[in-house]
Homo-oligomer: A and B are copies of this chain.
Amino acid sequence: MPPAPTGRFHRDCQQCELRMRGMFCNLNAETLLNYESIGTQSAYRKGVKLFEEETPCTGVFVLCTGRVKLSCTSREGKTLLLRIAVPGDVLGLGAVISGSRYEVTAETLEPTSLKSIRRDEFLAFLNRYGDASLRSAQALSKEYRSAFFDARRLALSDSAAGRLAGVLLDWGKAASIGKAEMRFAMALTHEELANLIGTSRETVTRVLGRFKKENLIRINGSSVLIVNSSKLEQMAA
């Protein structure tokens, strides 16, 4: 069962600033009207698990504010960090559409507000509104692509340094569109970074140190500046 929310409020999707970006805000008028009538809006504290891997799927969560960590864990306690969801993302979509259990664990990283829609209610909505189905397909496709590129990175880049270079470049590029320098705020600890690229915490520390010493990157607190992107690109392969 979903955890108890710590608050509740309604927000008009017509006015939502995510209207053009979020998956379920940019729908045609009639669909949007119906979308607003389903599900419930609620708020959660930091550190709450919205759902856990292997548990039966109850529905989807559309993130409005706050960030949510998506990860999964093996029986031995090894963790794979998949991504940090941001406002506009839809969580649990794959499980709902494929009719299976949640495959990941979703945990809030900060106070969060979101809209939760029960499985059957959401599927009925998709059945009735074709444009919403298409949007879901696109959202899934986006998620699929990112999972695919993660798998690709894990499999094809044999060194931990190469994989780390890859994610640094990804973030640098994403944060510096149209800007001169590639700088971004590192939101993860070394431990989380290690879980993301499938290595150990110590290796992340060492490799980052090496990158700094070789003047490929520069780090100030949480701010990371990419100095030599071509060299990183080259080792990311």
Chain A: residues with CB nearer than 8 A to chain B? Answer: 72-76, 78, 80, 93-94, 97-98, 100, 103, 126-127, 129-131, 133-134, 136-138, 140-145, 147-152, 154-158, 198, 237
Question: How far, in angstroms, from A147 to B82 measured CA to CA in the complex?
Answer: 12
Q: Are A98 and B130 in contact (CB under 8 A)?
A: no
Q: Closest CB of chain B to A132's CB: distance in Å? A: 9
B76, B94, B129: the one within 8 Å of A130 (CB): B129
Contact B147 A98 (CB under 8 A): no
Give complex CA distance A59, B13 in Å: 34
State how many angstroms separate the Cβ of A90 from the closest Cβ of chain B.
12
Question: Within the assembled complex, what's the spacing in Å between the Cα atoms of A155 and B237?
Answer: 19
14 contacts between A and B (CB under 8 A): A74-B156, A74-B157, A75-B237, A78-B155, A94-B148, A98-B141, A126-B134, A130-B134, A133-B133, A133-B137, A137-B137, A140-B144, A151-B151, A151-B154
Provide the residues of chain B in CB contact with A103, threshold 8 Å. 145, 148-149
In this complex, the member of A134, A137, A198 whose beta carbon has the largest number of chain B beta carbons within 10 angstroms is A137
Partner of A80 from B98, B156, B198 at Cβ < 8 Å: B156
Report Cα–Cα, A7/B72, bound state, in Å.
46
Query: Are B97 and A138 in contact, with the CB atoms below 8 A?
Result: yes
Question: A72, A129, A140: which has the most chain B beta carbons within 10 Å?
Answer: A140
CB-nearest residue of chain B relative to A53? B152
User: Given the complex of chains A and B, what is the CA–CA distance between A20 and B80 in angstroms?
Assistant: 36
Docked pose: A147 CA to B148 CA in angstroms:
6
- 7 shortest interchain CB distances as A-B pairs: A130-B130, A144-B144, A151-B151, A137-B137, A133-B133, A74-B156, A155-B198
Whether the pair A80, B144 counts as a contact (CB closer than 8 A) is no
In the complex, which residues of chain B have a beta carbon less than 8 angstroms from the beta carbon of A93? 141
Cβ-defined contact, B130 with A80, below 8 A = no
Known interface pairs A72-B156, A74-B157; 15 further A-B residue pairs with C-beta atoms within 8 A, sorted by A's residue number? A75-B237, A76-B237, A78-B155, A80-B151, A94-B144, A94-B145, A97-B138, A127-B130, A133-B134, A133-B137, A137-B137, A143-B144, A148-B151, A154-B198, A155-B198
